[in-house]
Chain A
């Protein structure tokens, strides 16, 4: 609390707001650059952008963003103008709200809610409202198909996502993300507490479920039917240009960033590293969390660039016939172990 309380609450709020407002576009940029531009290029035996900015094209995405700002803002003649304009903001807003509860250090959290995980997942699924709005207001059949697919898919995959998290919540005994981090930091592996106990060790099924379901939430390959570029061109985004499209882009990668951060917090111990406490944890926390979330994001994007796309009905079958029973079994086992030990 030392860092935050030495200045007034108004300034604290302002600082927090600025941090959140910069973290998300920055995170989206970093993920976009590292994975979309560079990792994907190297997987596909090409270099990706090399020139902008001098070093391995690091400036490319910034340049792209600036380019989008200059573009004409085209709105279809038959669009529902107000809904069309608000939709990207709704999508990005849900991303921003998730970041409120993600702790980056013992004191570095915007708001440590008691129902943190629940809040994060609930808020992140708000984006489907924006997607539906975009698809409906575009007055485009491809956009409509994409939006309906997105809605069906996000609803189906909200459940495995929650079930995956329930195991962690049972084990930690709290829903607060800060509490989950602390319980991992103070946990013991068979009575030895040198490293704490990341829930990865016990909740690996939960992590797998979480990653699969978040892949669907993020509409990434193999679950990217809502934006399926070879069928629906760009799905619900098809009519968007310029700044509004940039919003969707930031929303997409910002949400990936957020889900990677949640997964790192739930399963890899968040900001905590062994043997670091107090102010040092506040200073080292953000980079540690960032390193952990990059590991998670690496797996998410690795899958994205490797697999083909499922069909909508096959996706539903995967969710309802496989992921949800697996999640329930995981909860059952976790509960049994919790009671037994």
Chain B
């Protein structure tokens, strides 16, 4: 790196060199013979959002990579302090916007635990179904989009097409395709519409077929294998150390799924398998998500068989005041573990909310993970980690 006067901050020393190229905004023509600093993002198609990765390149090989986040920070943790509990749902819908319904569940559970009320069984089942549906919608998008990032355009359209069926189901039940805002403290806003369960059953067949398609078209493709196998390996210890969670961690061989290990909703009553893969590379992350999509469809089908009748709302006061207390609720969301630490001082809104979002921890591995790979692999690894910018920045 040149340390001449062209640098905007010439006095910086070697120890702070990583800080220096963060601040290096010269995208000019003075090309060093040594390293080249490439700004991937914030408006780069592969980062699907506004993640910026400052990459130092030696030829096509990455010397170091620094993710720069915060371009999408919306201050949700602070905003929750000025909202009532029912209003907070609208905000947290937009954290991981691909699986909004799954975001609502842990917060609602936290509020319900503080108030010591329990949602009726039918509401719990419907919540489970909708959570799994949003998982399917998220993963179908991933299964297609990963193909797109590796260079195949066609799977992306298949992913979007099949996800549309699932989104239609969510819309039919909740009224919203992306941001359902359907949970209420103590239950749900509405019951399922007439004929929804039969429709859902047939859609799950579509989803299972789509999974077979992706297994044949993408996973079975030699070029896809060549591009993903052995690329971006996260060893289990490193992954656990960085707080990687969800499918990313299971793809590294860690058998850990909150749905099974700390049961919530109706998961104890359904039978499903937790898939792991020993390799920890991009390929295994794709594989694990593919299996989990199938597993989610199976969970939905079981829930639809077992769904009880009854009310969908517990008895709750008209004005919700949550008693004083603190609670930590964590769930297994499509992108990984999502948790809410809610402190209540007995008011209509929370006193303080800490949100643990999965993508933030998943992306924190990037500097470690991207060192020494080629530029095309950067994209593959980013795609296989599968993060949502709203989930990183909140």
Q: Is the CB of A221 within 8 A of B44?
A: no
Residues of B within 8 A of A141 (CB): 27, 36, 38-39
What is the chain B residue whose CB lies nearest that of A138? B29
Known: A45-B158, A46-B157, A141-B36. A311 touches B379 (CB 8 A): no
Residues of A within 8 A of B383 (CB): 230
Stretch at the interface among B148-156, B257-265, B302-310: B148-156
Which of A78, A233, A307 has the most chain B CB atoms closer than 10 A to its own CB? A307
What is the chain B residue whose CB lies nearest that of A306? B154
- Least CB distance from B183 to A in Å reads 34
Q: Does B198 contact A (CB under 8 A)?
A: no
Residues of A within 8 A of B157 (CB): 44-46
Enumerate B24-66 residues with CB–CB distance to A below 8 Å: 27-29, 31, 36, 38-39, 44-46, 60
Q: Is the CB of A145 within 8 A of B29?
A: no
Contact with A along B257-300 (1 / 0, CB 8 A): 00000000000000000000000000000000000000000000
Q: Is the CB of B223 within 8 A of A230?
A: no
Residues of B within 8 A of A144 (CB): 31
Q: Complex: how many Å from CA A184 to CA B60?
A: 46
Size band of the interface chain B makes with A: 35 or more
Q: Does A228 contact B (CB under 8 A)?
A: yes
Q: Does A309 contact B (CB under 8 A)?
A: yes
Contact with B along A292-328 (1 / 0, CB 8 A): 0000000000000111111111100000000000000
**B-side binding surface: helix, strand, loop or mixed?**
helix
Q: Does A231 contact B (CB under 8 A)?
A: yes
Contact of A44 among B154, B218, B374, B376 (CB under 8 A): B154
Q: Is the CB of B154 within 8 A of A305?
A: yes
Q: Complex: how many Å from CA A337 to CA B45?
A: 52
Q: Complex: how many Å from CA A112 to CA B121?
A: 83
Q: Does B375 contact A (CB under 8 A)?
A: yes
Q: Complex: how many Å from CA A307 to CA B152?
A: 5
Q: Is the CB of B227 within 8 A of A310?
A: yes
Q: Is the CB of A222 within 8 A of B151?
A: yes
Q: Complex: how many Å from CA A94 to CA B148?
A: 31
Q: Complex: how many Å from CA A233 to CA B150?
A: 13
- Least CB distance from A82 to B in Å reads 15
Q: Is the CB of A78 within 8 A of B29?
A: yes
Q: Does B221 contact A (CB under 8 A)?
A: yes
Enumerate B366-394 residues with CB–CB distance to A below 8 Å: 374-379, 383
Q: Is the CB of A308 within 8 A of B158?
A: no
Which of A45, A145, A230, A233 has the most chain B CB atoms closer than 10 A to its own CB? A230
Residues of chain A at the chain B interface (Cβ within 8 Å): 40, 43-46, 78, 139, 141-142, 144-145, 221-222, 224-225, 228-233, 305-314
The 6 listed contacts between A and B (C-beta, < 8 Å) are A230-B46, A307-B152, A308-B151, A308-B227, A309-B150, A310-B226
